[in-house]
Structure 1
Protein backbone atom coordinates (compact mmCIF):
# COMPACT_ATOMS: atom_id res chain seq x y z
CA UNK A 1 0.00 0.00 0.00
CA UNK A 2 2.53 2.57 1.10
CA UNK A 3 6.22 2.56 1.76
CA UNK A 4 9.06 4.80 2.73
CA UNK A 5 12.80 4.45 2.25
CA UNK A 6 13.26 1.98 5.14
CA UNK A 7 10.17 -0.25 5.11
CA UNK A 8 7.25 -1.46 2.99
CA UNK A 9 3.64 -1.94 4.04
CA UNK A 10 1.60 -4.87 2.70
CA UNK A 11 -2.08 -5.74 3.01
CA UNK A 12 -2.61 -9.49 3.40
CA UNK A 13 -6.10 -10.69 2.58
CA UNK A 14 -7.75 -13.47 4.62
CA UNK A 15 -9.43 -16.41 2.89
CA UNK A 16 -12.96 -15.21 3.59
CA UNK A 17 -12.34 -11.59 2.57
CA UNK A 18 -14.30 -10.06 -0.24
CA UNK A 19 -13.31 -7.17 -2.42
CA UNK A 20 -12.95 -3.74 -0.87
CA UNK A 21 -12.82 -0.25 -2.32
CA UNK A 22 -10.87 2.69 -0.88
CA UNK A 23 -13.97 4.90 -0.93
CA UNK A 24 -16.35 2.27 0.43
CA UNK A 25 -18.88 3.27 3.07
CA UNK A 26 -20.58 0.90 5.51
CA UNK A 27 -24.16 1.04 6.63
CA UNK A 28 -23.71 -0.80 9.95
CA UNK A 29 -20.89 -1.24 12.42
CA UNK A 30 -21.07 -5.04 12.05
CA UNK A 31 -20.41 -4.69 8.32
CA UNK A 32 -17.40 -2.46 9.04
CA UNK A 33 -16.10 -4.92 11.63
CA UNK A 34 -16.39 -7.83 9.18
CA UNK A 35 -14.41 -5.93 6.54
CA UNK A 36 -11.80 -4.55 8.94
CA UNK A 37 -10.70 -7.99 10.14
CA UNK A 38 -10.59 -9.35 6.59
CA UNK A 39 -7.16 -7.75 5.98
CA UNK A 40 -3.91 -7.71 7.96
CA UNK A 41 -1.59 -4.72 7.64
CA UNK A 42 2.00 -6.00 7.71
CA UNK A 43 5.10 -3.80 7.69
CA UNK A 44 8.51 -5.23 6.75
CA UNK A 45 11.67 -3.17 7.13
CA UNK A 46 14.20 -3.47 4.32
CA UNK A 47 17.15 -4.19 6.59
CA UNK A 48 15.80 -6.87 8.99
CA UNK A 49 12.52 -8.72 8.32
CA UNK A 50 12.37 -10.06 11.89
CA UNK A 51 11.65 -6.52 13.13
CA UNK A 52 8.46 -6.35 11.07
CA UNK A 53 5.07 -5.58 12.55
CA UNK A 54 1.52 -6.73 11.95
CA UNK A 55 -1.89 -5.80 13.34
CA UNK A 56 -3.10 -9.35 14.04
CA UNK A 57 -3.77 -10.54 17.64
CA UNK A 58 -0.96 -13.12 17.58
CA UNK A 59 1.64 -10.42 16.84
CA UNK A 60 0.54 -8.37 19.84
CA UNK A 61 1.19 -11.31 22.18
CA UNK A 62 4.25 -13.02 20.64
CA UNK A 63 5.79 -10.23 18.49
CA UNK A 64 5.88 -12.64 15.52
CA UNK A 65 3.07 -14.02 13.37
CA UNK A 66 2.41 -16.16 10.33
CA UNK A 67 1.85 -13.08 8.17
CA UNK A 68 5.38 -11.75 8.72
CA UNK A 69 6.99 -15.16 8.34
CA UNK A 70 4.95 -16.05 5.24
CA UNK A 71 5.72 -12.71 3.60
CA UNK A 72 9.44 -13.08 4.34
CA UNK A 73 9.44 -16.56 2.80
CA UNK A 74 7.51 -15.36 -0.24
CA UNK A 75 9.90 -12.44 -0.79
CA UNK A 76 12.85 -14.87 -0.36
CA UNK A 77 14.24 -13.02 2.67
CA UNK A 78 14.44 -16.34 4.54
CA UNK A 79 13.93 -20.02 3.85
CA UNK A 80 11.82 -22.42 5.93
CA UNK A 81 13.75 -25.21 7.70
CA UNK A 82 13.64 -28.68 6.15
CA UNK A 83 12.02 -30.04 9.33
CA UNK A 84 8.99 -27.83 8.71
CA UNK A 85 8.61 -29.12 5.17
CA UNK A 86 8.74 -32.75 6.36
CA UNK A 87 5.77 -32.46 8.75
CA UNK A 88 2.84 -34.50 7.46
CA UNK A 89 -0.46 -32.70 7.05
CA UNK A 90 -3.26 -34.42 8.92
CA UNK A 91 -6.13 -35.97 7.03
CA UNK A 92 -9.50 -34.23 7.24
CA UNK A 93 -12.16 -35.83 9.39
CA UNK A 94 -14.93 -37.79 7.73
CA UNK A 95 -18.43 -36.41 7.50
CA UNK A 96 -21.02 -37.29 10.10
CA UNK A 97 -21.01 -38.06 13.76
CA UNK A 98 -17.89 -39.73 15.19
CA UNK A 99 -18.28 -43.37 16.24
CA UNK A 100 -18.90 -44.06 19.90
CA UNK A 101 -15.75 -45.19 21.69
CA UNK A 102 -15.58 -48.75 23.04
CA UNK A 103 -15.15 -49.44 26.76
CA UNK A 104 -11.48 -49.48 27.77
CA UNK A 105 -11.23 -53.12 28.88
CA UNK A 106 -12.94 -54.70 25.85
CA UNK A 107 -10.78 -55.59 22.86
CA UNK A 108 -11.81 -53.87 19.67
Structure 2
Protein backbone atom coordinates (compact mmCIF):
# COMPACT_ATOMS: atom_id res chain seq x y z
CA UNK A 1 0.00 0.00 0.00
CA UNK A 2 1.41 3.30 -1.06
CA UNK A 3 0.61 6.96 -0.60
CA UNK A 4 1.51 8.94 -3.68
CA UNK A 5 2.33 12.59 -4.20
CA UNK A 6 1.77 14.56 -7.36
CA UNK A 7 5.46 14.10 -8.21
CA UNK A 8 5.39 10.31 -8.19
CA UNK A 9 2.07 9.68 -9.97
CA UNK A 10 3.94 9.30 -13.27
CA UNK A 11 0.99 10.55 -15.30
CA UNK A 12 -1.47 8.22 -13.59
CA UNK A 13 -4.86 9.88 -13.14
CA UNK A 14 -7.07 7.01 -11.92
CA UNK A 15 -6.47 7.84 -8.26
CA UNK A 16 -8.27 9.25 -5.25
CA UNK A 17 -7.09 12.72 -4.30
CA UNK A 18 -7.14 13.79 -0.66
CA UNK A 19 -6.97 17.57 -0.78
CA UNK A 20 -6.74 20.15 1.96
CA UNK A 21 -9.92 22.06 2.81
CA UNK A 22 -13.09 22.23 0.73
CA UNK A 23 -13.03 21.18 -2.91
CA UNK A 24 -12.91 24.29 -5.09
CA UNK A 25 -13.26 22.77 -8.56
CA UNK A 26 -9.52 22.23 -8.92
CA UNK A 27 -7.54 19.00 -8.88
CA UNK A 28 -3.90 17.91 -8.79
CA UNK A 29 -2.59 19.96 -5.87
CA UNK A 30 1.02 19.63 -4.72
CA UNK A 31 -0.24 19.46 -1.13
CA UNK A 32 -2.62 16.56 -1.85
CA UNK A 33 -1.97 12.88 -1.35
CA UNK A 34 -3.13 10.29 -3.85
CA UNK A 35 -4.24 6.68 -3.42
CA UNK A 36 -4.74 4.09 -6.12
CA UNK A 37 -8.20 2.57 -6.31
CA UNK A 38 -6.85 -0.70 -4.97
CA UNK A 39 -5.34 0.96 -1.91
CA UNK A 40 -8.29 3.29 -1.33
CA UNK A 41 -10.74 0.38 -1.30
CA UNK A 42 -9.24 -0.90 1.98
CA UNK A 43 -9.89 2.50 3.56
CA UNK A 44 -13.30 2.83 1.92
CA UNK A 45 -14.69 0.05 4.10
CA UNK A 46 -14.27 2.34 7.12
CA UNK A 47 -15.29 5.55 5.36
CA UNK A 48 -18.64 4.17 4.22
CA UNK A 49 -19.47 3.17 7.82
CA UNK A 50 -19.29 6.84 8.83
CA UNK A 51 -20.22 8.68 5.62
CA UNK A 52 -23.34 6.95 4.38
CA UNK A 53 -23.70 9.41 1.46
CA UNK A 54 -20.08 9.08 0.32
CA UNK A 55 -19.81 9.58 -3.45
CA UNK A 56 -17.13 7.20 -4.73
CA UNK A 57 -16.32 9.60 -7.56
CA UNK A 58 -16.49 12.67 -5.30
CA UNK A 59 -16.07 15.27 -4.23
CA UNK A 60 -16.66 14.53 -0.55
CA UNK A 61 -15.97 16.73 2.44
CA UNK A 62 -14.78 15.11 5.67
CA UNK A 63 -14.73 17.04 8.95
CA UNK A 64 -12.65 16.27 12.01
CA UNK A 65 -15.43 14.54 13.93
CA UNK A 66 -16.14 12.24 10.99
CA UNK A 67 -12.45 11.49 10.49
CA UNK A 68 -12.03 10.70 14.19
CA UNK A 69 -14.79 8.09 13.92
CA UNK A 70 -13.22 6.62 10.77
CA UNK A 71 -9.89 6.43 12.62
CA UNK A 72 -11.46 4.71 15.62
CA UNK A 73 -13.03 2.10 13.34
CA UNK A 74 -9.87 1.57 11.29
CA UNK A 75 -7.58 1.34 14.30
CA UNK A 76 -9.81 -1.17 16.05
CA UNK A 77 -8.20 -3.83 13.87
CA UNK A 78 -5.97 -5.80 16.14
CA UNK A 79 -4.58 -8.86 14.44
CA UNK A 80 -1.21 -9.17 12.80
CA UNK A 81 -2.67 -9.56 9.31
CA UNK A 82 -3.74 -5.92 9.50
CA UNK A 83 -0.26 -4.53 10.25
CA UNK A 84 0.34 -3.32 6.70
CA UNK A 85 -3.03 -1.56 6.57
CA UNK A 86 -2.50 0.08 9.97
CA UNK A 87 0.88 1.49 8.90
CA UNK A 88 -0.74 2.77 5.72
CA UNK A 89 -3.63 4.28 7.68
CA UNK A 90 -1.36 6.01 10.19
CA UNK A 91 0.47 7.78 7.36
CA UNK A 92 -2.86 9.03 5.99
CA UNK A 93 -3.95 10.00 9.50
CA UNK A 94 -0.77 12.07 9.92
CA UNK A 95 -1.58 14.01 6.72
CA UNK A 96 -5.18 14.52 7.90
CA UNK A 97 -4.08 15.83 11.31
CA UNK A 98 -1.72 18.30 9.64
CA UNK A 99 -4.63 19.41 7.43
CA UNK A 100 -6.85 20.06 10.45
CA UNK A 101 -4.29 22.50 11.85
CA UNK A 102 -5.31 24.90 9.05
CA UNK A 103 -8.67 23.67 7.73
CA UNK A 104 -12.00 22.50 9.19
CA UNK A 105 -12.28 19.69 6.63
CA UNK A 106 -10.52 17.92 3.79
CA UNK A 107 -11.91 16.64 0.52
CA UNK A 108 -11.74 13.26 -1.18
CA UNK A 109 -12.22 13.17 -4.94
CA UNK A 110 -12.50 9.87 -6.73
CA UNK A 111 -11.01 8.64 -9.98
- Shorter-chain TM-score category? under 0.3
Instruction: Work out which of the two has the higher radius of gyration on C-alpha atoms and give 1 or 2.
Output: 1
Structure 1 or 2: more helix by fraction: 2
Higher relative contact order (CA 8 A, sep 6+): 2
> Structure 1-normalised TM-score?
0.23
> Structure 2-normalised TM-score?
0.22
